[in-house]
């Protein structure tokens, strides 16, 4: 139909004539309420942005002679970052003459990778960046889904049971006294 006829029909209905595909032959148009169309389009875009997660790069830094507690503590934080969906960059930095022991730094990084192997995968392999040795690990969604979540309510049920027998024993002593 001609553009003038389509415009006339749109005005009769109180709607707008919107060109959808100008490259098509002939061009495709629709008779719609343009304000409502724009509103729904913005809602869809907003919902898509909301569902997307911006992946960040978090960095964990180790010294060459890192102790087991410090290593476990930092690995636990890295695990939390990975579960949130962020990438983690683990860096071992060498100070002074430590740079000649690159193999020890590589061992710390490999220990870190093995500690998080159940929920992550290596995104960028181990490499030297100046006086630092680093690796980037990314969350592995297939491994994270398989892992069961622990229940926290089990501990609260035990405390209530512990108090209940103590109260019943007091009542029993009171009955014997009468």
CATH of the domain at 65: 3.30.110.10
74 lies in the same domain as 121: yes
pLDDT in tens, 47-106: 888 777 677 889 999 998 889 999 999 999 999 998 888 899 999 999 888 888 888 999
Its pTM stands at: 0.54
pLDDT in tens, 6-44: 888 989 988 888 888 888 888 888 888 888 888 988 999
pLDDT in tens, 121-170: 888 888 988 888 999 999 888 777 665 555 555 444 444 444 555 554 55
Residue 172 within a domain: no
81 lies in the same domain as 127: yes
Sole residue written with tokens 């890295």: 78
Task: List the domain range (segments joined by +) for residue 102.
Answer: 57-146
In this structure, the number of other CB atoms found within 10 A of the CB of residue 71 comes to 16
Q: What is the pLDDT of residue 178?
A: 46
41 lies in the same domain as 65: no
30 lies in the same domain as 65: no
Peptide linkage before 97 cis (omega within 30 of 0)? no
Residue 79 within a domain: yes
**For residues 2 and 125, what is the distance between their CA atoms, to the nearest angstrom?**
62
Residue 173 within a domain: no
Q: Which CATH number belongs to the domain containing residue 46 in this structure?
A: 3.10.20.80
Residue 170 within a domain: no
63 lies in the same domain as 45: no
69 lies in the same domain as 132: yes
**For residues 83 and 78, what is the distance between their CA atoms, to the nearest angstrom?**
9
Chain CA centroid to CA 37, Å: 33
Residue 157 within a domain: no
Residue 152 within a domain: no
Chain CA centroid to CA 123, Å: 16
């Amino acid at each position: 139909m001609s553009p003038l006829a389509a415009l006339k029909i749109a005005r009769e209905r109180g709607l707008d004539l919107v060109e959808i595909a100008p490259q098509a032959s002939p061009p495709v148009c629709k008779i719609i309420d343009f304000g409502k169309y724009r509103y729904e389009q913005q809602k869809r875009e907003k919902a898509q942005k909301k569902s997307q997660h911006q992946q960040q790069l978090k960095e964990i830094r180790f010294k060459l002679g890192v102790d087991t507690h410090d290593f476990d503590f930092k690995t636990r934080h890295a695990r939390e970052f990975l579960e949130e969906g962020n990438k983690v960059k683990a860096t071992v930095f060498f100070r002074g003459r430590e740079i000649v022991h690159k193999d020890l730094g590589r061992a710390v990084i490999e220990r870190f990778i093995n500690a998080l192997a159940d929920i992550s995968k290596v995104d960028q392999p181990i490499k030297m960046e100046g006086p630092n040795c680093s690796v980037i690990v990314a969350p592995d969604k297939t491994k994270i889904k398989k892992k069961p979540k622990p229940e926290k309510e089990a501990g609260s049920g035990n405390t209530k049971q512990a108090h209940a027998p103590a109260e019943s024993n007091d009542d029993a002593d009171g009955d014997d006294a009468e």
